[in-house]
A and B are shown apart, each in its own frame.
Chain A
Amino acid sequence: TSFWTTQEDVTGARSGMYARFRSFTDFNLYYLGESRSEIMGTGILNADFRIPYFQNRLNKITAPGPDWGSIYTVIHDINLILKYAPGIAFTSESNKNNILAEAYTMRAFLYFVLVRTWGGTPLLLDPTESFDPATIYKPRASEDEMFKLITDDLAKALELFPVNTYPTKRGAWSKPAANALKGDVYLWIAKRRNGGESALNTALAALQEVQKTDVALLPNFADVFSYTNKGNKEIVFAVRYQDLEAVNNYSGDMYIRDSDLPPGVDAETLKKIGLGGGMNWWAPSETMRKQFTADDKRKDKSFVEIYGKNAQGNPTFYTSIMTKFSGFIDANGRRFLDDIIIYRYADILLMIAEAKNALGQDPSAEINLVRQRAYGDQFEKHKFVSTSKTANDDEILRERLFELAFEGKRWWDLVRFNKAFDLVPSLADRKGQTNLLLFPLSETVMSRNSKLIQNPGYE
């Protein structure tokens, strides 16, 4: 073939990799990372296939969740880059190393998504360039093998990144972002795979590396998500969404179109909603909404409750909408093209707090940084003071709900803290059925490869 000869081929393939990664994050990352948590419930429209997610009634045929095709497509792109780029001459060796490091980080992130979702999955380290029935059907790898690959890829990436800075607009993997991922991965190893203190120390060290870079909490919570403020200083890595490049992402399914508004909505709510758009397919659940206090500045930039009026003229609850990612408005109406944030500094701070607490250190400093911004002049009422390890963990997990709701992280947070059965109402009656923490392999995935074995409980 004539492709894979010049450095432009590699940079084009890099953009191709990110574009397909973006397709995966449109919806699927959210379904995998958050939809099963206590965050979402029914909206006013037919939540249909989303219902089994938040009700935790997954089933390999009728409700398997997204299949892994959209992830492995990106892995194929990565494997092509890792195979061919090393043999291609670049005018700048550090540019080449940067692309290779991005590819390794991306692969580590995707296998981390895969292993948290399904457990061990087939390990593909080479691109698919021909069809050979003898080798193309691969069995599932063990979780050990998955984590070995993830940590190896991260080690290679961190070695290859030439600088510890961010690309402009922070729309790509970088050394700080790889460290953020490393912290995330080692926290999981520590808490889910008996990684012990050494894993916690590795996580903490990696996360503290991020702190050394050009990153900070923005003073105003809402500014982090403003459409005109993409790639701000709080962002470590966000998937770039842009008009004419990308389609509306999952945030459009949690808003509301004007024609669905009930009569009698008060003016203040209408102002918060602005021009309607998207669909209220599903909505923030009552379980999560009622935990926010009125003085939490994050509340309005997370969701808005909508009340209509009943026959007596009294307000009655109608539905709620997600406001964290409300897009922008043009001649086509409201467009949901906010970047999808993979890591940001508040997340890093709370992960540091989590690691410190697990190591027996005081996590207050990091938690309070987050709370100071959230409560402003009401901060003293909400100031965190370290108590027991367990109580601290509960507080950290709850803080992550307030801070990171709708950012596609909640389900994995619940699993990492081992609190899914305690905090998700739809799982409360199934305590002990830990097999439910994994997703089923869909019938489509199973029917295409007879070497795959179904996850327990989903046969």
Chain B
Amino acid sequence: QSVKGIVTSGADNSPLPFVTVVVKGTQTGVTTDAAGKFTINAPADKTLVFSYIGYITKEVTPGNQTELSVVLEPDQKTLNEVVVVGYGSQSRETVTTSISKLDNKVLENIPYANAASALQGTLPGVRVQTTTGQPGAAPRVIIRGGTSINNPDGSSPLYIIDGVIRSDMNDINADDIETLQVLKDASSTSIYGARGANGVVIITTKKGKAGKMQITFRQNTTFSQLAKKYNMMSARDYVYFGRLGVLNSAKKIPERMSVLSIANSFGTGNDLTNRTYSTVQYLTPQNQYKLSEGWESIADPADPTKTLIFKNTDWQDVLFQTGISQNYYLGAMGGTEKGSYNLGVGYLKSQGIAINTDFRRFTFDLSGDLKIREKLKVNAFTNFTNSGNNQVFNDNQIFQRALALPPTAKLYFEDGTMSPGFNRSIGNPLYQLSRYTTDNHLYRLTLGGGLTWNILPGLTFEPSTSLYVIETNNNSFQKSYLNGPLAFIDSRVATGMRQTHWQQQVDAILSYNKSINQHGLDFMLGASYFDRKISALSATGQGASTDIIPTLNASATAVAVSSSITRQRIISFFGRANYNFAQKYLLSLNARYDGASNLGLNNKWGLFPGASVGWNIHNESFWKGLGLTGVVNILKLRSSYGVNGNLGQLGDFQAQGNYNVGARYDGTAAIQNTVIPNSNLKWEQTQTYDVGLDIGLFNGRVNLLVDYFNKRTDNLLTNLELPLETGFQSILTNYGSLQNRGFEVEISGTIIRTESGFNWNAGFNIATNQQKILKLPANGNERNRVGGVLVYDPETGKNEWRGGLQEGGRIGDYYAYKQIGIFATDEEAAAAPIDNIVPLASKVKFGGDVNWLDVDGNKQINSYDRVYLGNPYPTVTGGFTTAFAYKNFTLNARADFTLGHTIYNYTRALYNGQFVGENNASNDILRSWQKPGDQTDIARYYYADQQVQSNLFRQNSLYFEKGDFLAIREITLGYGFPSALTSKLGLSNLRLNVTANNLKYFTKYSGLNPEEGGQDNGRYPVPRNFIVGLNVSF
């Protein structure tokens, strides 16, 4: 009997293509066409199964009907989704550990050069920080606070991409990603043993499905802009305050007066030749014509009888541009009962908002599987990427110093040639970047394959193997350049670097699952071999006689050559057992036994167990009896405990100690002992206790996941600071314990759902993380403190050691001097405590200097008067999502927030303190103290503050700024053309979207990027992107 029919979506009544229709219990199946129609031969008494990703599978028995109209309801119940666990997958209902899954919608609209950026604010407990706007750069990902005392920002998770173990997910095309999940607790990650302590990110790429070939084409164009500028002074203000600043400094150091007349950024020694870098000069009959060419003039504040002329240049306008990026993706998938395939090809070309920065990436992903016998399937995949970028030569010199190149500096000389700026490090970015070329390429190739052998019903054997190769090829060339107008450097340094990362992996998994009555059982046993070798070769040469040949062969002198080979091997055995009784009581046990080549001789092997339990209360008859199922349809309590390892910062041969080569003395090669051996080194051990609750309300309209975790890491692999008398700064050792604990809440739901097709979904997540150092090795100090500062504590009335690392404390606390005000007058300053931090012998202070908090009240300002000013690490992260759909329109928005971190805005302090002597300041200076009686928070402007009163240089509390922010990460308006139109065109889907990305940071931080705590030494600002996208399927 032939049955025909149409399948439509319950959400919008539109026809659903590619729905799999199978006769239950047979291999017979078809898929629906672009109009949702199908025809299948099936006996009347047989049931048809309709399934489609994202919809609830439906079974229909046609009986004697030959025309079916089937409606599939979208699957709203994330609590019923399938999640990937280590070496397998499981239904969310039986999962007893803490796993977060990315909603693929966030990958849809923004062409991420690095898909990890999509995790920002979308998964609770996963801290993602965009630390740079360099196109293609990877964000920082830290799960549940990481595990490191020495390098808390370096605790990156383990990435498993189609079973291949990696240290990052760089160059994975977001369009190729099928699922992305994060395993957070130790019970789920202990199956990855010695490397799982920082969490595990599991990614699977798209795989083919049985059905007609489906072709997808996507194209995006992105316009990127600088979202926020520094408020720098104009040339007029700079000349005025620059010269006043010298007069101010000369009150204490009379010799400073000489800089008013030399060829500097506000001095009068400049002229119109190519020998001076600044435009400032006294007005003369010879240069008067410049005033008609856009130059400006003011009276010299140091000698008002004279007139200064100068030209203004905004260096931010010179450095920044609107970047334009193009992204293309073509995908094809399909298959039959026998086999399936998926192919994805992508190309991204991305322009940075800073000149001379860009990123290019080509990606190719091909996978397929084939049933070669009834019980034997073979699969293979390949993933190839080629990426490359151009970067500035130094972030600090470009994004801090060059932006502060005085606005009076020449962009071009009179003869039309480009001026170099003060020198290379405070340079004209247009010139200096044009003299430096890079050519960086990275090739990644993953080849893998495996078998699935269904030996007996429920018993499966899956051996697999993979090869992962990364080939890095970086070259740079410094053309001859002017390091300032008078210093011509033509050493022409060229560098070349090649590195090959070669990684082989063999895994074998045997799994068995069986249900007997109410008892559900599954077992998994596995073994894994991992072998990674990195070989590198680099060379530097100089002395080329031309700028035209950038390669090393043009060099006259070999400056340095280097090569290295390093290798790590890990052998592992692991297993897991899951048991459930009537889907009510759940138990999961797993363990891994790992041996790693880089551990100390005495500790090469370790065992990492995990256990978790769960209780599906909603499956209990008493719960059903309560009659609450209409409100609370899912209620699961789960708890887990596990032990992980981490090899994080352990180098391949570090445990053996190092003798370094490469240095030379008097032409002879030197050997130097640089690392102390430690044969007792073992992995650090993290125990995590996690308790969680899954709640489904109103029949899946609202889902809630709550977790509390308490993670304790012992035997931290950390650098212990040694007494300098030992000849070493530190030794890598296992010591101390660190605790991270916090809450994670994830809530999502459908707020409005109407017959007219108006839907509103929203989600919210938040996670907290509190960190505490529990134990440090005994070293005779109180609380076994390492480092820190001695400051007065008003509570105890004594000087106490604070900061550094101490038991009971946090990592990274800041202590510095507290500005309580600015002296309005000299008299006020004279009455204040004596300031011993002033570097000069004379401690005299003036009106306009900072009034410091004298914490111990001893009428002396000294190092004991420092106070706590925050911590660089965030304590709360999270995000919001919301999606509106009406008919063919969708509107999605996403925001994320990070709270609790403090940034030392050194860039602003350097600007306002004129630390370099040749740098512009921010507009703050316009409200700085200028005359007796002025009430302000900005100290008087000094030339080289650090030399005079050190109002800023000593570290002033005003420049320790809260980094708290809320970022509007995405707003997308999408339009899907109606199927009536698309089917006429032979298309199954046609969608357009307009997206704004990184639209706005709501923050009090005055720098350009609030995302990262710590000292701001100039950061590549995160661009604001506007994206227009097209998505076609047929």
| Residue in A9, A122, A127 whose CB lies within 8 Å of B725 | A122
| Residue in B263, B669, B676, B677 whose CB lies within 8 Å of A12 | B669
Contact (Cβ within 8 A) A136 B947? no
B residues with CB within 8 A of A: 253, 255, 258-259, 261-264, 269, 276-277, 422-423, 483-487, 489-492, 542-543, 557, 559-560, 656-657, 659, 661, 663-673, 676-678, 720-729, 731, 733, 777-781, 785-790, 801, 804, 836-837, 839-841, 863, 915, 917, 944, 946-947, 954
State whether the Cβ of A332 lies closer than 8 Å to any Cβ in chain B.
yes
State whether the Cβ of A444 lies closer than 8 Å to any Cβ in chain B.
yes
Contact (Cβ within 8 A) B665 A137? no
- Complex alpha-carbon distance, A259 and B492, angstroms: 22
Contact (Cβ within 8 A) B487 A257? yes
Contact (Cβ within 8 A) B277 A18? no
Complex: chain A residue closest to B943, CB-CB: A46
**Mind listing 7 A-B residue pairs with CB under 8 Å?**
A55-B841, A77-B672, A131-B720, A138-B723, A258-B487, A331-B490, A447-B786
- Write the nearest CB–CB distance from B568 to chain A, whole angstroms: 19
If the complex has contacts A12-B669, A46-B917, are A451 and B721 also in contact, measured as CB distance less than 8 A? no
Complex: chain B residue closest to A316, CB-CB: B258
Contact (Cβ within 8 A) A15 B788? no
Ordered nearest first, which 3 A-B pairs have the shortest CB separation? A76-B727, A12-B671, A69-B724
If the complex has contacts A128-B728, A171-B666, are A20 and B841 also in contact, measured as CB distance less than 8 A? no
Contact (Cβ within 8 A) A259 B666? no
Measured between beta carbons, the chain B residues less than 8 angstroms from A92 are none
Complex: chain B residue closest to A275, CB-CB: B487
Measured between beta carbons, the chain B residues less than 8 angstroms from A426 are 841
| Residue in B261, B559, B944 whose CB lies within 8 Å of A244 | B559
Contact (Cβ within 8 A) A51 B839? yes
Complex: chain B residue closest to A446, CB-CB: B790
If the complex has contacts A1-B656, A61-B863, are A448 and B666 also in contact, measured as CB distance less than 8 A? no
If the complex has contacts A44-B258, A130-B677, are A124 and B726 also in contact, measured as CB distance less than 8 A? yes
| Residue in A61, A262, A333 whose CB lies within 8 Å of B489 | A333
- Complex alpha-carbon distance, A51 and B255, angstroms: 14
Besides A124-B726, A449-B723, 18 new A-B residue pairs in contact (Cβ under 8 A), listed by A number: A12-B669, A15-B664, A42-B253, A48-B839, A57-B841, A63-B839, A74-B727, A75-B727, A77-B727, A129-B676, A131-B720, A137-B779, A244-B664, A257-B486, A258-B484, A259-B423, A447-B781, A447-B801
If the complex has contacts A62-B863, A169-B666, are A262 and B725 also in contact, measured as CB distance less than 8 A? no
If the complex has contacts A51-B947, A61-B863, are A124 and B725 also in contact, measured as CB distance less than 8 A? yes
Complex: chain B residue closest to A167, CB-CB: B666
| Residue in B661, B676, B777 whose CB lies within 8 Å of A128 | B676
Which residues of chain A from 35 to 93 have any CB-CB distance to chain B below 8 Å in the complex? 42, 44-48, 51-52, 55, 57, 59, 61-63, 67-69, 72-77, 80
Contact (Cβ within 8 A) B726 A133? no
Which residues of chain A from 124 to 152 have any CB-CB distance to chain B below 8 Å in the complex? 124, 127-131, 133, 136-138
Contact (Cβ within 8 A) B670 A16? yes
If the complex has contacts A72-B724, A262-B261, are A133 and B779 also in contact, measured as CB distance less than 8 A? yes
- Write the nearest CB–CB distance from A60 to chain B, whole angstroms: 8
| Residue in A9, A45, A61, A133 whose CB lies within 8 Å of B778 | A133
Complex: chain A residue closest to B263, CB-CB: A259
State whether the Cβ of A121 lies closer than 8 Å to any Cβ in chain B.
yes
Which residues of chain A from 419 to 459 have any CB-CB distance to chain B below 8 Å in the complex? 426, 443-445, 447-451
If the complex has contacts A46-B946, A259-B484, are A308 and B261 also in contact, measured as CB distance less than 8 A? yes
State whether the Cβ of A242 lies closer than 8 Å to any Cβ in chain B.
yes
Contact (Cβ within 8 A) B487 A259? yes
- Complex alpha-carbon distance, A3 and B422, angstroms: 49
- Complex alpha-carbon distance, A18 and B671, angstroms: 10
Measured between beta carbons, the chain A residues less than 8 angstroms from B779 are 133, 137, 450
- Write the nearest CB–CB distance from B431 to chain A, whole angstroms: 15
Contact (Cβ within 8 A) A46 B947? yes
Measured between beta carbons, the chain A residues less than 8 angstroms from B841 are 55, 57, 426
State whether the Cβ of A13 lies closer than 8 Å to any Cβ in chain B.
yes
- Complex alpha-carbon distance, A448 and B781, angstroms: 9
If the complex has contacts A72-B724, A131-B678, are A242 and B671 also in contact, measured as CB distance less than 8 A? no
Measured between beta carbons, the chain B residues less than 8 angstroms from A245 are 663-667
Measured between beta carbons, the chain A residues less than 8 angstroms from B491 are 330-332
- Complex alpha-carbon distance, A260 and B659, angstroms: 43
- Taking each of B720, B723, B840, which has the highest tally of chain A beta carbons within 10 Å of its own beta carbon? B723
Contact (Cβ within 8 A) B670 A15? yes
Measured between beta carbons, the chain B residues less than 8 angstroms from A333 are 483, 487, 489
Measured between beta carbons, the chain A residues less than 8 angstroms from B722 are 128, 131, 136, 448
- Complex alpha-carbon distance, A276 and B269, angstroms: 17
Complex: chain B residue closest to A52, CB-CB: B839
Which residues of chain A from 84 to 138 have any CB-CB distance to chain B below 8 Å in the complex? 121-122, 124, 127-131, 133, 136-138
Number of chain A residues close to chain B: CB under 8 A: 81
State whether the Cβ of A410 lies closer than 8 Å to any Cβ in chain B.
no
State whether the Cβ of A263 lies closer than 8 Å to any Cβ in chain B.
yes
State whether the Cβ of A11 lies closer than 8 Å to any Cβ in chain B.
yes
Contact (Cβ within 8 A) B665 A262? no
| Residue in A72, A129, A330, A332 whose CB lies within 8 Å of B677 | A129
Measured between beta carbons, the chain B residues less than 8 angstroms from A74 are 727
- Complex alpha-carbon distance, A164 and B423, angstroms: 50
- Write the nearest CB–CB distance from A109 to chain B, whole angstroms: 16
Which residues of chain A from 297 to 345 have any CB-CB distance to chain B below 8 Å in the complex? 308, 316, 318-319, 330-333
- Complex alpha-carbon distance, A91 and B255, angstroms: 63
Contact (Cβ within 8 A) B258 A18? no
Measured between beta carbons, the chain A residues less than 8 angstroms from B780 are 137, 450-451
If the complex has contacts A259-B263, A262-B262, are A240 and B666 also in contact, measured as CB distance less than 8 A? yes
User: Binary interface profile of A, 6-35, with partner B (CB < 8 Å = 1, else 0)?
Assistant: 000101110110111010000000000000
- Write the nearest CB–CB distance from A202 to chain B, whole angstroms: 29
Measured between beta carbons, the chain B residues less than 8 angstroms from A73 are 727-728
- Complex alpha-carbon distance, A67 and B724, angstroms: 8
Complex: chain A residue closest to B778, CB-CB: A133
- Complex alpha-carbon distance, A137 and B490, angstroms: 50
Complex: chain A residue closest to B544, CB-CB: A331
- Write the nearest CB–CB distance from A239 to chain B, whole angstroms: 9
Measured between beta carbons, the chain B residues less than 8 angstroms from A11 are 668
Complex: chain B residue closest to A11, CB-CB: B668
- Write the nearest CB–CB distance from A424 to chain B, whole angstroms: 13
Measured between beta carbons, the chain A residues less than 8 angstroms from B790 are 61, 443
Contact (Cβ within 8 A) B486 A121? no
If the complex has contacts A45-B917, A262-B258, are A130 and B676 also in contact, measured as CB distance less than 8 A? yes
Measured between beta carbons, the chain A residues less than 8 angstroms from B804 are 447
- Write the nearest CB–CB distance from B558 to chain A, whole angstroms: 9
| Residue in B253, B667, B726, B788 whose CB lies within 8 Å of A447 | B788
- Write the nearest CB–CB distance from B1013 to chain A, whole angstroms: 23
- Taking each of B262, B422, B727, B779, which has the highest tally of chain A beta carbons within 10 Å of its own beta carbon? B727
Complex: chain A residue closest to B269, CB-CB: A263
- Complex alpha-carbon distance, A52 and B669, angstroms: 38
Contact (Cβ within 8 A) B733 A263? no
Contact (Cβ within 8 A) A244 B484? no
- Complex alpha-carbon distance, A448 and B678, angstroms: 20
- Write the nearest CB–CB distance from A69 to chain B, whole angstroms: 4
Complex: chain A residue closest to B733, CB-CB: A131
Measured between beta carbons, the chain A residues less than 8 angstroms from B839 are 48, 51-52, 57, 62-63
Measured between beta carbons, the chain A residues less than 8 angstroms from B276 are 259
Measured between beta carbons, the chain A residues less than 8 angstroms from B917 are 45-46
Measured between beta carbons, the chain B residues less than 8 angstroms from A244 are 557, 559-560, 664
Contact (Cβ within 8 A) A259 B731? no
Measured between beta carbons, the chain B residues less than 8 angstroms from A258 are 484, 486-487
Complex: chain B residue closest to A240, CB-CB: B666
- Write the nearest CB–CB distance from B1023 to chain A, whole angstroms: 35
- Write the nearest CB–CB distance from B777 to chain A, whole angstroms: 6
Measured between beta carbons, the chain A residues less than 8 angstroms from B672 are 13, 16, 19-20, 77
Measured between beta carbons, the chain B residues less than 8 angstroms from A9 are 671
- Complex alpha-carbon distance, A22 and B720, angstroms: 27
